[in-house]
């Protein structure tokens, strides 16, 4: 009965959620943090209300059916959509909704975890990308309001619970970096698996795209059944916070916790990679917490670990797993501290976040959301602004260059007319018969050549390699006669891309826009 019922719930929920998303709001597919982040920066915070409604229904069905994902990503998009739509109803134009989008995220996270400080930190760290944004006032107010509403409706119900903790022993302190390293590596493995599955699923021509979430849900069911048979826990299905609470309480033997950690890791990266409607917060907490519980239970067979040691090691693993995947250490530390209200945990959390950052960056340079953006063809440097002017100047010029330039190879009267009529550019690279760049043709020179019936005079091309820092490229383009750089190796004179004043100004405007919030 359990096998048939769980299969019907997981697969049926995935199919129903996919139907809703495909039929009413395709942009509601997958998690919710990345599309919200893209809407914040690319669309000024504008998100349709329909997107939020469909996301709410689809994620509730998916998670209620038992797919191995979390609710936090969806509530981010739902909260942002609700606030953005509410601002629109009050007459706020689409171009001025960033504050409302960010505030909606803060209110949603604060309500889910009953943790307003962590909600504020998450918005500043992940959505906006800096801790000194001018939007912090509105974000703070929304986070407090979200926490108060949640407290009034459901009371102080934390996502996971821990009893009163005593001071840790030295054995617990020494094991904390071990747990953090293991959980950080587990988080990196989860990220790599999700990205690999995502790329693989998109390459399957024989499987319809709308069926891929069901394939991931089927993986959840298989692994959930196997883990239940081994451990007696249903933690692989759905969010899994009850199992996390049990891990904090020390209820699992070491091999059961390890099995749950590995099974959740694989089930979750299959669900994420196949496009399931749910978030990655809960899986990262679960994976890290179970690795911490496994180390604590195993070491407890040989060392005099207290119950507080074991609980803190599990929560240190949760912090490390979260930081490894989401790359928001301040959020992770504040979140677990706010949920447990245990100040004695803070040193453990600080160590866990630090070690996890080091390990995860060695294994995977960028976080999950940035890697997903690259898979989707979005360059994070083009979409997300740099944190400060110094970092902006250190960016390679290739991040802002145009790698699909228009070149001119015919300098006859007909060729010049075609170039001028079809394109409004002020400067064109001229390509010789051997494919090399012979110079630059400016628009005034082309018009003069047509008027005088004389061959146009070409300006010398100024070159820059794609790896040249933007600060150096800025000086070079301003000093160039045409304010135009050819991207490539000067000795080869093979054009790879171009960099114009327009590209430079666009990059500077992005930097200014980020400072405005």
pLDDT in tens, 313-360: 999 999 999 999 999 999 999 999 888 777 888 888 999 999 999 999
Q: Give the residues of the chain that fall short of pLDDT 70.
A: 131-133, 156-164, 381-382, 385-390, 508-517
Note the pLDDT of residue 471: 85
Q: How far, in Å, CA of 72 to CA of 339, rounded? A: 15
Based on the fold, state whether residues 344 and 309 are members of the same structural domain: yes
Note the pLDDT of residue 330: 92
Based on the fold, state whether residues 86 and 199 are members of the same structural domain: no
Based on the fold, state whether residues 488 and 450 are members of the same structural domain: yes
* Any domain includes 496: yes
DSSP H or E stretch at residue 320: helix 307-326
The CATH number for 399's domain is: 3.10.580.10
* Any domain includes 450: yes
pTM: 0.80
Based on the fold, state whether residues 134 and 207 are members of the same structural domain: no
Residues pairing with 469 in the sheet: 396
Based on the fold, state whether residues 205 and 144 are members of the same structural domain: no
The number of distinct structural domains making up the chain is 3
* Any domain includes 123: yes
Note the pLDDT of residue 401: 87
Q: How far, in Å, CA of 3 to CA of 66, rounded? A: 13
The CATH number for 228's domain is: 1.10.3080.10
Q: How far, in Å, CA of 68 to CA of 10, rounded? A: 9
Domain boundary among 381, 412, 435: 381
Q: How far, in Å, CA of 103 to CA of 80, rounded? A: 7
Domain boundary among 346, 381, 416: 381
Residues pairing with 498 in the sheet: 402, 486
Note the pLDDT of residue 157: 65
* Any domain includes 163: no
Q: How many residues does the chain have?
A: 517
* Any domain includes 211: yes
Based on the fold, state whether residues 115 and 189 are members of the same structural domain: no
Taking Cα atoms as reference points, which of 445, 364, 434, 440 lies closest to residue 407? 440
Give the chain's end-to-end CA distance (angstroms, integer). 54
Range of the domain at 293: 170-381
Note the pLDDT of residue 509: 65
- pLDDT tens digits, residue range 451-499? 998 989 999 999 999 888 888 888 898 888 888 999 999 888 999 999 9
Domain boundary among 348, 381, 414: 381
Based on the fold, state whether residues 281 and 415 are members of the same structural domain: no
Based on the fold, state whether residues 130 and 187 are members of the same structural domain: no
Based on the fold, state whether residues 323 and 398 are members of the same structural domain: no
Based on the fold, state whether residues 196 and 149 are members of the same structural domain: no
Based on the fold, state whether residues 227 and 376 are members of the same structural domain: yes
Based on the fold, state whether residues 357 and 413 are members of the same structural domain: no
């Amino acid at each position: 009965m359990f096998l048939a019922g769980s299969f019907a719930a997981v697969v049926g929920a995935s199919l129903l959620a996919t139907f809703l998303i495909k039929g009413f709001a395709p942009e509601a597919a997958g998690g919710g943090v990345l599309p919200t982040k893209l809407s914040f920066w690319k669309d000024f915070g504008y998100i349709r209300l329909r997107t939020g409604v469909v996301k709410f229904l689809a994620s509730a069905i998916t998670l209620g059916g038992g797919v191995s994902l979390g609710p936090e990503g969806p509530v981010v998009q739902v909260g942002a959509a609700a606030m953005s739509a509410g601002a629109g109803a009050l007459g706020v134009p689409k171009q001025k909704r960033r504050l409302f989008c960010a505030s909606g995220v803060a209110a949603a996270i604060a309500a889910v975890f009953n943790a307003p400080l962590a909600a504020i930190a998450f918005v500043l760290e992940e959505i906006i990308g800096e801790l000194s944004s001018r939007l912090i006032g509105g974000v703070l107010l929304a986070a407090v309001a979200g926490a108060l509403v949640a407290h009034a409706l459901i009371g102080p119900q934390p996502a996971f619970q821990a009893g009163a903790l005593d001071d840790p022993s030295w054995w617990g302190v020494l094991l904390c970096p071990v747990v953090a390293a293991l959980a950080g590596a587990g988080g990196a493995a989860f990220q790599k698996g999700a990205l690999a599955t995502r790329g693989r699923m998109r390459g399957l021509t024989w499987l319809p795209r709308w069926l891929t979430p069901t394939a991931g849900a089927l993986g959840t069911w298989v692994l959930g059944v196997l883990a239940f048979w081994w451990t007696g826990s249903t933690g692989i299905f759905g969010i899994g916070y009850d199992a996390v609470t049990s891990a904090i309480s020390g209820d699992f033997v070491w091999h059961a916790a390890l099995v749950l950690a590995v099974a959740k890791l694989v089930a979750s990266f299959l669900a994420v990679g196949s496009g399931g409607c749910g978030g990655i917060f809960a899986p990262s907490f679960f994976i890290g917490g179970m690795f911490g519980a496994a180390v604590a239970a195993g070491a407890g067979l040989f060392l005099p670990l207290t119950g507080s040691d074991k609980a803190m090691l599990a929560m240190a693993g949760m912090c490390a797993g979260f930081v490894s995947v989401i790359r928001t250490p301040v959020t992770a530390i504040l979140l677990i501290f706010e949920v447990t209200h245990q100040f004695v945990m803070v040193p453990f959390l600080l160590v866990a976040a630090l070690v996890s950052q080091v390990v995860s960056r060695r294994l995977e340079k960028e976080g999950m959301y940035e890697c997903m953006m690259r898979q989707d063809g979005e360059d994070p440097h083009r979409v997300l602004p740099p944190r400060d002017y110094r970092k902006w100047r250190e960016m390679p010029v290739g991040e802002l260059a145009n790698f699909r330039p228009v070149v001119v190879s015919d300098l006859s009267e007909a060729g010049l007319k075609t170039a001028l009529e079809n394109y409004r550019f002020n400067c064109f690279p001229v390509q010789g018969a051997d494919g090399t760049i012979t110079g630059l043709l400016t628009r005034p020179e082309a018009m003069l050549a047509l008027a005088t019936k004389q061959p146009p005079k070409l300006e010398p091309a100024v070159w820059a390699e794609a790896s040249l820092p933007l600060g150096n490229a800025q000086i070079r383009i301003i000093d160039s006669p045409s304010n135009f750089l050819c991207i490539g190796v000067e000795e080869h004179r093979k054009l790879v891309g171009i960099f114009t004043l327009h590209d430079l100004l666009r990059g500077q405007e992005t930097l200014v826009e980020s400072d405005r919030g």
